[in-house]
Chains A and B, each alone.
Chain A
Amino acid sequence: MDEPTIPERAHPRGRGARQTRLDIYVDRYATRTQRMKASEIRALFAVASRPEVVSLAGGMPNISGLPLDAVAETLGELVVDRGTQAMQYSSGQGDPGLREQICTVMALEGVAAHPDDVVVTVGSQQGLDLITRVFCDPGDVVLCEAPSYVGALGVFGSYECEVVHVAMDDQGLQPEALRHTIDIVRAAGKRVKFLYTIPNFHNPAAVTLSAQRRTQVLDICADADVLVVEDNPYGLLGFDTEPMRAIRADGPERVVYLGSFSKTFAPGFRVGWVVAPHAVRDKLVRAQETATLCPPTFSQLAVSAYLANHDWRGQIKSFASMYREHRDAMLAALDEHFPTTASWTRPAGGFYVWVTLPSGLDAGAMLSRAVTARVAYVPGTAFYADGNGTTAMRLSYCYPTPERIREGVRRLAGVMGTELELREMFGATGPGLPSRGYSSPNTDLT
């Protein structure tokens, strides 16, 4: 090996000046790519993945209760009995048998769909991507709740859509605000392509759209000729009540429905689905074929075999019972440690609590202090496309144990106390510095 020699003198003009941006493709990226930038907050989440940090940030399902031995047996049989089929290409629309089973799952929420209406996707996240690809041109308006799912905002951003938020309260989307927003957007000469809504145990707001409002939302959108995209990953994970009737159940021609096995079984298979009116479905299948040729056959058959051979309804109840314990731990810890000047939702299902901070605090600016104290959360601004949400944060209780949840909330309360005291001391009670960027959607994996 040739040994280098350390230079014997300074090299002020060694090789002739070179100008570089360290990215030779810098002037070639699409407009939508140019907003993808490194951010401090993303860097902080790199620390949150370490075991020393209690992460109340991510939305990872807790699948420690799955009967892995039984699942292993099912998967083993799949390989032995149908291995060459499971490892082969398959239909772009998805496995017909799985699509039938999906219809059985959706029947629990009142959706009467035919397997032909179903398109299997790589998680419902890909369903969202395909829907946006099929419907949206740059500049088209998508209506979203305020706040909305960070991963959806990422998809809409990547297709250069304009997101307009619609106000919510403790019963979910406000119908009057929806009507008013549609009018305003139209008055501005813009076209609303669809309303994106998460009616059950909302991520991140943790509220559920009431039955009465579901009808109102459907009527308003029908009157205004606006498609509804209903995203329902948590609907079967209620703690105290039977599943609510899906919006799609009462408006099959007006609603595209997104479902997922990520929370009711396991996210690693990446199997979700879309149910859409016929014309839309055909376009989604074409889009799916372009994107992936077909959704992963092995994953589909694995999920199908799981549904056929296991008490999946019982497993969902068992998951819900575990999440209920986690929620109880978080709410009790919040009641005990958080100041009375903060407020938070009390979810009846799902994974999250939405906290509104005491006046003067900025959740984004506080995150570095929290990570130093070994606790992480997602700042509220992640869930808005318009910069709102500075005084809110999302806490997830799905993955950590109740003990870790209690410890995390205790640490967070300490962080909040210090931050509040510092801000009062410096008289810095407004939002933090505007430069703090945010990139989606990886926080849900943290």
Chain B
Amino acid sequence: MTQRVVVLAGGLSHEREVSLRSGRRVADAMSAVGVEATVRDVDSELMPWLRREQPDCVIPLLHGEVGEDGALREILELAGAAYVGSTPAAARLAFDKPIAKQVISKAGIRTPASVALPADTFREVGAASVMAALVERLGLPLFVKPAQGGSALGCTAVDSAAALPAAMVSCFAYGSVALVERKVAGVELSVPVVGSANGAEALPAVEIRPDGGVYDYTARYTAGATEFVVPADVSEQVATASARVALTAHGVLGLRDLSRSDLIVDTDGEVWFLEVNVAPGMTETSLVPLSVDAAGLDLGQLMATLAKEAATRGPRRP
């Protein structure tokens, strides 16, 4: 029997446009392998609609808050829908970058030193002294990013103390907590992981070489503005270490079905974990589809398999 799958895309986050593109691409790829896949936005009619339509499976592809912070997955569980991807609790853990870093660090994975602080703390304690202490503790250069969010929105590389205030303001325009992280120079890699628990497998690492040196929003979503190498042009040893880091992140955070870890390989060949995404981008310029292709898989068939597994798993029973 033909699978009926609903891909949820859009939403109200800053990454709405990216999500819509991801959704279309996945739905098209699944339709091409015989799945009845439709794209739907998230709105006030979603729950009654899901109850009425009862699709075999839902693929949540909303990026940013709601989509990745666990909220939408809670809604899917409340609606009794089977869905592809991590549980609400695991998504919440992964979406909060400082917490995810802490969990992963405890599992023995390197992650750049960082401090996470809400805007209120800067207000209460005095922004100037806190910023001075951050530079003193972490050194320069730094990377400032919202503790929650994606697509590099609100992210800034900071090379001097003078540039930190503008970076903080920019970051707080996208979220209430900032993650200030030591910037590790090196090769940028992204490693998708598919499957769950014992069956999880890493796909080929994608190496990212943005023309301007910074993988910002423009470099991510302008076709041609970034060169990708897949599998990454790294040694066997680094490739294996990168896969191990991505698998560890997937495992210790309790992620399911699909995740993508962003990593840096420093000049000594050490692999550093930066963050993990539970609803990674699937657009024409996104990394997961590239890696899936390099693994010799078909994106539509892979998603169809994950959808079938999710449908078999069924909705979570109260």
Interface positions of A (Cβ within 8 A of B): 1-4, 6-15, 17-23, 25-26, 29, 37-40, 42-44, 46-47, 50, 52-53, 365-366, 368-369, 371-372, 419, 422-423, 425-428, 430, 432-433, 435, 437
Contact = CB atoms under 8 A, between A and B. Distances in A.
Given A425-B122, A428-B166, A430-B166, 18 more contacts: A4-B297, A6-B195, A6-B302, A12-B243, A14-B296, A15-B231, A17-B230, A23-B223, A38-B217, A43-B17, A43-B151, A43-B153, A53-B12, A422-B119, A426-B122, A426-B168, A428-B169, A435-B216
B15 A8 contact: no
A38 B224 CA distance: 11
B231 A11 contact: yes
A365 B170 contact: yes
Closest 8 CB pairs of A and B: A12-B239, A26-B224, A46-B17, A428-B165, A38-B221, A23-B223, A10-B243, A23-B224
Contacts of B151: 43
B166 A432 contact: yes
A20 B228 contact: yes
- Counting chain A CB atoms within 10 Å of each CB, which of B169, B204, B298 scores highest? B169
Contacts of A432: 166, 169-170
Chain A CB count within 10 A is highest, among B201, B231, B285, for B231
A368 B314 CA distance: 38
A19 B240 CA distance: 20
17 contacts: A1-B33, A3-B305, A6-B302, A11-B204, A13-B239, A14-B295, A17-B230, A19-B227, A20-B227, A20-B228, A20-B230, A21-B225, A22-B290, A44-B14, A46-B16, A368-B153, A428-B165
B172 interface: yes
B280 to A, nearest CB: 16
Contacts of A39: 217-218
B157 to A, nearest CB: 10
Given A4-B298, A38-B218, A21 B166 contact: no
Contacts of B294: 11, 14-15, 18
B264 to A, nearest CB: 17
Given A11-B231, A43-B17, A4 B166 contact: no
Contacts of A7: 194, 201, 203, 295, 297
Interface-centre pick from A10, A14, A423 (highest chain B CB count, 10 A): A10
A44 B290 CA distance: 26
A437 to B, nearest CB: 6
A432 B217 CA distance: 16
B173 interface: yes
Contacts of A29: 224
A433 B166 contact: yes
B173 A366 contact: yes
B223 A22 contact: yes
A293 to B, nearest CB: 31
A4 B304 CA distance: 9
Nearest to A421: B123
Contact of B228 (A19, A25, A37, A430): A19
Interface of B: 12-18, 20, 33-34, 119, 122-123, 127-128, 131, 151, 153-154, 156, 165-170, 172-174, 194-195, 199, 201-205, 216-218, 220-233, 236, 239-240, 242-243, 247, 284-285, 290, 294-298, 301-302, 304-305, 308
A332 B144 CA distance: 39
Contact of B231 (A4, A14, A44, A430): A14
Given A38-B220, A38-B221, A40-B217, A423 B169 contact: yes
Contacts of B221: 38, 43
B227 A365 contact: no
A125 B129 CA distance: 52
Contacts of A46: 16-17, 20
Nearest to A49: B16
B13 A47 contact: yes
A269 to B, nearest CB: 28
Contacts of A50: 12, 16
A422 B218 CA distance: 26
Contacts of B174: 368, 372
Contacts of B205: 12
B134 to A, nearest CB: 12
Nearest to B205: A12
A100 to B, nearest CB: 45
A1 B31 CA distance: 12
Contacts of B199: 6
A427 B128 contact: yes
A433 B222 CA distance: 19
Most B-side CB within 10 Å, residue of A22, A29, A47: A22
A11 B217 contact: no
A7 to B, nearest CB: 5
B208 to A, nearest CB: 11
Residue in B174, B199, B240 whose Cβ sees the most chain A Cβ within 10 Å? B174
Contacts of A369: 173
A3 B305 CA distance: 7
Contact of A21 (B154, B167, B218, B227): B227
Interface-central residue, A9, A17, A25, A39, by most chain B CB under 10 Å: A17
Given A6-B195, A426-B165, A18 B229 contact: yes
Contact of A37 (B225, B233, B297): B225
A437 B222 CA distance: 12
B170 A433 contact: yes
